[in-house]
Amino acid sequence: MKKPRIVIVSSLMVFLTLVFVYIRLNKESDQKESPPPTASDLTAKAKPQQTAPPILPPVLAPAPLKRGNRSFYGTLPPALKDIKDLKLVNKPSAQWQKKLEVNLRRLGGEKLKTLQVSPQESYIIPDGDEGRMVERVIVKLESKDGEYTSFFAEVDSESGHVIKTWGVAIPEKARHRH
C-alpha cells in the first residue's frame, strides 16, 4: 500500500512542476510580444497606486469680533455685517458688582457668612437681534455653619442680575478631612 501512495505523490509533484513551467513559459512569451516598459510603468508596478493626502494650508481661526475692549461671543444677527452696527441693550455700570453682591446677600439670608465675587472677563453676547454686555465672575459663598460652595456666573454689566450659572461645586464643610 505504501508504493501506490508514493506513486501518487510523485506524480502529483511532477504535475505541479509542469504547471509552473508552463506558466513561466507563457509569462516570458507575453513579455517578448509586449513593447518594452517605460519608466512610469516600472514605478507603477514597483509600488501600488497610492494617492498622497493633499497638503492643506494651516487653518487659522478668525480673529474674535471685538467692540472696544470686549470680545463678542456668538453669531451676529443675519442683518448685520459688522460688530460696530450691533445695537446694545445695556451700558456697563461701575456699580454692577455692588448690585450683584446685594442680591446674593439677600438670597443667602441670615445663614450667609462670607461672599466673594471675583470678576474674570467682560464680553458681549447676542440677545435676539441686539447685544448684551456681560461679566463672567466666580462666586464663593460660605455659611455660618461652615459649609461653602462656589460657581461661575454670567452677570449683566448694568444691573448686576445673574443671567446664567454653571460649574456649581458640591457644598462641603470647611476644614473637612477626606
pLDDT in tens, 110-141: 999 999 999 999 999 999 999 999 999 999 99
pLDDT (tens digit per residue) in 44-54: 555 556 677 77
Domain locations in the chain as residue ranges: 2-46, 65-173
The DSSP bridge partners found for residue 66 are: 71
Q: Dihedral, CA atoms, 42, 45, 49, 54, nearest 10 degrees?
A: -30
Q: Determine which of 116-120, 138-142, 151-155, 172-176 has the lowest per-residue pLDDT on average.
A: 172-176
Provide the whole-model pTM.
0.60
